[in-house]
Amino acid sequence: MKQKMMLIRLAFAALFILLMTRGALMAWLVLYAVSLVFPLLFGKRIYCMAVCPINTLMLGVVWLRGKLGIKQSAPPTWLNRGVWAWLSLGVTVALFVISRRVLHRTMPVMLLWLLIAALMTLRYHPDVFHDLLCPYGLPQRLLARVSLKSVEGRRAARDYQGFTASVLMANKGKGPGKAGPKKG
């Protein structure tokens, strides 16, 4: 199953690159908008788990960090205040709107988030970005909490144990929790 999931992630990453190189990132935004139906209906963050190019890149960065022997640090305390994902969502929307209205083109904000996520993942557990900063995961997480068709999905979203444990379903019972990875 892990191999199939990685193939799916790589296929979506290839699609993202293709759309980006063709200047068609609006199509990716439409794909993201459609993906919001899944957490709303079923409580599952399919986009975050299998589609998001940021997550796919971060998996590679985790592997690279291990090969380079870079130690994982505890997240900075200022990042744990809970406002940063909201702020990043606001900045993302503002940059998108401003670029469309002023520059008359779509600014590739996702590329900025790819760079930030990669740099953060070199130093911190991936959950730090996913849970505390990602502007794309925030709407997914909020919609999962009010899932219309899945009581289990709503419960899982309310009992969230961090991205790795709750969305990727890895390290069941050993998740880093809402505030990011444990120190140590």
Greatest pairwise CA separation for the chain in angstroms = 48
Structure confidence at residue 174 (pLDDT): 41
Give the contacts of 143 (CB within 8 A, at least 6 positions apart): 36, 39, 40
Q: Are 41 and 149 in contact (CB under 8 A)?
A: yes
Q: What is the mean pLDDT of the chain?
A: 87
Residues 141-165: tens digit of each pLDDT:
999 999 998 888 888 888 888 888 8
pLDDT band at 99; cut points 50, 70, 90: confident
For residue 173, the Cα-to-chain-centroid distance in whole angstroms is 21
pTM exceeds 0.95 = no
Closest CA relative to residue 136, chosen from 53, 44, 60: 53
Q: Among 1-15, 16-30, 66-80, 147-161, which stretch is predicted with the lowest mean pLDDT?
A: 147-161
